[in-house]
Amino acid sequence: MTVDGPFGLSMRDRALEADVQAGLSAVEEGLMEATKSDVPFITGAAQHLVRAGGKRFRPLLVMLGSQFGDPYAPGVVPSAVVVELTHLATLYHDDVMDEADVRRGVPSANAHWDNSVAVLTGDFLFARASKILADLGPEAVRIQAEAFERLVTGQILETAGPQDGQDPVAHYLEVLAGKTGSLIAVACRFGAMMGGADEGVTSILTQYGERVGTAFQLADDVLDIASDSHESGKTPGTDLREGVATLPVLYVRAHAENGGAAADRELCRLLDGDLTDDARHAEALAGLRAHPALEQARRDTVRYAREARETLRPLPDCPAKSALSELCDAVVHRAG
């Protein structure tokens, strides 16, 4: 029997579906508990995005990774809470940097309150994640610290842009590996590690997380251009408006620089101009939606998802392995 699970995943094993749903329910309780404060205002701000929901992609990966050991081990749920709190904290900060108005279908924290509240709330979530992490042992603290360093480095590299002579696409993929792949890899690693899986299994799942994490972000980039706000939960073209060049934009520029048509060069001029103007922004968004660069980015999404699936081959066949493989299809489907 096929069971519709989280993230649009169809779980064909009742026991696995029950374990994952129970784990994710416990994570929700943990998130609500971790975002409580003696100061009601802080609780409201910290729970703003928790209550808005979300895909809970990272906790899902923790739950699936734990299936290669003991999914009921005491560190599994807290580690999933840590990873999701860290992710939520970065969203508060990202929305300030992007000047975003909508997140997960609700006003972003910076739009609802102001930038200072959003930044400080993100810091509060980081602090709460660290408090939980301290109880999971020094190895978990080290792993999370290294991932967080990579995450921040990726954000800095994105802000600084590629160095002279560096391929912009290669630079962008390096940014994604740090900003997104690092934390998703930790989710897979924590699940296996906290569940007591052996080092070989843990290493494979970590590599899987790196690849599926890049595919996940590339799918988000495609969605940001191709979908409307109802589908994505945020304002379409947010990266465009902020001047952040995602993969489809980089491919348009590559087309223009390598003997592309006049229309490519015209679209580049539009993309490089002021896109805070609504009319120009809408024109740029329409141009990208019609350009082959969008399909090129979709193909890259498929490629990374395929590499993630191939990484799983050495693992023993089991329902969790099948679910992780199917998750690659679910990621690609988002960009379809």
Where along the chain do its domains lie? 13-197, 213-335
Same fold across 13-197 and 213-335: yes
Percent of the chain with pLDDT over 70: 87
Specify the pLDDT at position 1. Answer: 29
Q: Is the pLDDT of residue 240 over 70?
A: yes
pTM over 0.85: yes
Tell how strand 102-103 and strand 3-4 pair up. Answer: unpaired
> How many Cβ atoms sit within 10 Å of the Cβ of residue 115?
16
Question: Which residue would you say has higher pLDDT here, 236 or 57?
Answer: 57
Decide which of 207 and 54 is more confident: 207
How far is the C-alpha of 214 from the C-alpha of 191, rounded, in Å?
Answer: 19
Q: What is the pLDDT of residue 54?
A: 77
- Averaged over 160-175, what is the pLDDT? 91
Mean pLDDT of 293-321: 95
Quote the CA–CA distance of 174 and 168 in Å, as a whole number.
10
Q: Which of 51-60, 71-80, 81-90 has the lowest mean pLDDT?
A: 51-60
Residue 111, pLDDT score: 56
Q: How far is CA 222 from the centre of its chain?
A: 13
pLDDT tens digits along 74-85: 999 999 999 999
Greatest mean pLDDT range, 95-99, 169-173, 202-206: 202-206
Helix extents (H) in 277-318:
278-290, 292-311
What average pLDDT does this structure show over 129-145? 96
Q: How many CB atoms sit inside 10 A of residue 170's CB? A: 11
Predicted pLDDT at 219: 92
The CATH number of domain 13-197, selected from 3.40.50.300, 1.10.600.10, 1.10.569.10, 3.40.605.10: 1.10.600.10
DSSP state of 317: P
pLDDT tens digit string along 250-302? Answer: 999 998 888 778 888 999 999 988 888 889 999 999 999 999 999 999 999 99
The token pair at 309 is 């699936």
CA distance 290 to 241: 18
pLDDT confidence band for 119 (50 / 70 / 90)? confident
pLDDT surpasses 50 at 161: yes
Long-range contacts of 41-45 (CB under 8 A, 24+ apart): 42/121, 42/124, 45/109, 45/113, 45/117, 45/121, 45/124
CATH superfamily of the domain spanning 213-335: Farnesyl Diphosphate Synthase (1.10.600.10)
Q: How far apart are CA 221 and CA 25, in angstroms?
A: 29
pLDDT at 144 over 60: yes
Asked whether the predicted pLDDT for residue 5 surpasses 60, the reply is no
